[in-house]
Structure 1
């Protein structure tokens, strides 16, 4: 990887962090609250977890999904990871499931966790932000235990990657087709168990870790 490429990716993440830090205080008051609630409710219909599960939520934002998981699975322990310190501040302030839920700042492309640490990983409307999506899948595979599942929820693209700009974001967001999602998983050592539409063009893809990890 060139120094220029590293610098560009660092700038991408720094800009996104600034935006979400600004949004954080009022984030749960936006229309996204109703939208995410609907998506989460549909997602929970497909979630299968072992007894006493340990899960990770990438791009956890204000912690709403982890809260719903902890409510539905009373023995669940969960970690939320987000780039935005202000989103994490909101998540910690509204955390009703201490000490079962904790929140950490970090980057999805370089997860600060050990191999095989989690039974399941969730990623909801966040994958579209990542400059290196394949690296995220490698990291998810690494931190999943054998047979662990990755629940990827995001807008679905067509056969080719769809990229477009949204005001406030300085770089394109990327939507991937189901075929591209499957390819990311295969390269990382995961099996695709299926795709499910949750709400409009928002699709859930479920992966299972089958390899020894990297």
Structure 2
């Protein structure tokens, strides 16, 4: 059996589902933020948007987008070869979605896109890997691919340092819940990647992914900086968006919308 034959027989639904469960362990309100994101898309650009799924991973946003808006289209862009392998397998029979590989830190990443502009650019739980200067640069580039009247939405960890006692209590509550669920057998980030590395189809892309980002079992590869929702809104206005504000928040995370 060739590698192509093995990939064709892979259970992409399984990989998509286990990715979702692993992410929900960290983000129990994950579906709520997706719903709020798509509500904003429909309100501002309608039910047939052309979307750029930025740092798309396995295509979680695209999956919910296309289920809700059957006439939407999506371009997913990411650097991670393993997650893109899952995304391409999962959406292989859907002509409404396409994927490209590019590094958002590369100044030329927009040249990989198949369209000049988009009604909406959407991202979740991804851009916290970037440092402040990189994120400001990226926001300016995103402003260049959102059409006039289009929107950008970023849902991510955006802590509010003005409420330290609230933050401490909430973080302790979330940590205790994760520990209980972990003890009951829930996969965490490192566990999920270990399973992917041992899979015949994903072993190669996962090894390449580890060369790029590092192995989760050996420590957190993140060198990004987390800022408040207000910081993100200010940075987006400075990048060329006409309006920007928080449109959803939990005690630890938030979603900022920017209108071109």
TM-score range, shorter chain: 0.7 to 0.9
Are positions 1:28 and 2:19 aligned together?
A: yes
CA displacement at 1:121 relative to structure 2: 0.1
TM-score, normalising length: structure 1? 0.73
Q: Deviations over 1:51-91 (max 9, x none)?
A: 53211011111111101101111111100111101101101
Query: Number of residues paired by the alignment?
Result: 181
Unaligned runs of 5+ in 2: 1-14, 163-215
For residues 102 and 149 of structure 1, do their structure 2 counterparts lie closer, same or farther at Cα, with a shift above 3 Å needed?
same
Q: Which runs of 5+ in 1 are unaligned?
A: 1-23, 161-165, 210-214
Higher RCO by CA contacts (8 Å cutoff, separation 6 or greater):
2
Asked whether the 8 Å contact 2:62–2:74 carries over to 1, the reply is yes
Of residues 151, 155, 163, the one that matches 2:157 is 155
Cα distance in 1 between the residues matched to 2:93 and 2:114? 23
Paired residue for 1:8?
none
CA distance in 2 between counterparts of 1:51 and 1:118 reads 14
Q: Are residues 1:170 and 2:221 paired?
A: yes
Q: Structure 1 or 2: larger strand share?
A: 1
What pairs up with 1:117-132 in 2 under 5 angstroms?
Answer: 117-131=117-131, 132=134
For 2:75, which of 74, 79, 85 is the aligned residue? 79
- Greater fraction helix: 2
Contact 1:43 1:198 in 2 (8 A): no
Matches within 5 A, 1:19-98: 28=19, 30-33=21-24, 35=27, 36-48=30-42, 49-50=45-46, 52-95=48-91, 98=94
2:137 and 2:104 map into 1 onto residues whose CA distance is: 8
Do the aligned partners of 1:120 and 1:149 also contact (CA within 8 Å) in 2?
Answer: yes
Query: Would the alpha carbon gap of residues 38 and 207 (structure 1) be closer, same or farther in structure 2, given more than 3 Å must change?
Result: same
Aligned-residue offset at 1:29: 6.1
TM-score (norm 2): 0.61
